[in-house]
Amino acid sequence: GDNNSGIKVFVYGAFGGRFDQEMGAIQALYKWSAVFQNQLFLYDDQTCAFLLPPKIKSEIRLAFFGEHPPNEEDDKGPDVFGEGPTCGLIPIGCRCDDTKTTGLKWNLDGSLPLEFGGLVSTSNRAMEKIITVQSSSAPLIFTAEITTA
């Protein structure tokens, strides 16, 4: 059997340092995500990131979504933190074709590839409880802000 089945790996302190070290953490996502069935997550106090595999419709659930920032009147209560609502899809290393999303303020319809020098989906916003992402050609980094209510 697979010894890593069901294991989720959270790496805290992965961002906020030198750029070369942050890129090393991103490289680790590409190298090790498949080993942990795409359950490898990078975190610091302000952001999180993980790798979405190609050719699979990924469902992402963020703690916060919608137009308004969370406040004490939300059902989550005071002093709650979590991912969202600001998020992004970053193609690192290669172009990602036919990327389609749902649940974002600016959804992608697959008509333009995601690639550096072209379209990169940064500063997007989760608008629904569940976001779906599918890309046909290459993995994508999904990133979200960490919000404190």
With a threshold of 0.95, does the pTM exceed it?
Answer: no
Query: Cβ neighbours of residue 141 under 8 Å, at least 6 residues apart?
Result: 26, 29, 49, 50, 51, 52, 89, 90, 91, 92
Instruction: Please check whether residue 26 is in contact with residue 140, taking contact to mean a CB–CB distance below 8 angstroms.
Output: no
pLDDT in tens, 30-77: 999 999 998 999 999 899 999 999 999 999 999 888 875 554 455 545
Instruction: Please check whether residue 142 is in contact with residue 49, taking contact to mean a CB–CB distance below 8 angstroms.
Output: yes
H-helix or E-strand containing 134? strand 130-134
Instruction: Please check whether residue 88 is in contact with residue 50, taking contact to mean a CB–CB distance below 8 angstroms.
Output: no
pLDDT in tens, 122-140: 999 999 999 999 998 999 9
Question: What does the DSSP 8-state code read for residue 114?
Answer: B
Residue 85 has pLDDT above 80, yes or no: yes
Please work out, in degrees rounded to the nearest 5, the angle formed at the alpha carbon of residue 129 by the alpha carbons of 123 and 130.
85
Q: Which residue has the higher pLDDT, 65 or 103?
A: 103
Q: Which residue has the higher pLDDT, 149 or 77?
A: 149
Average pLDDT of the chain is: 87
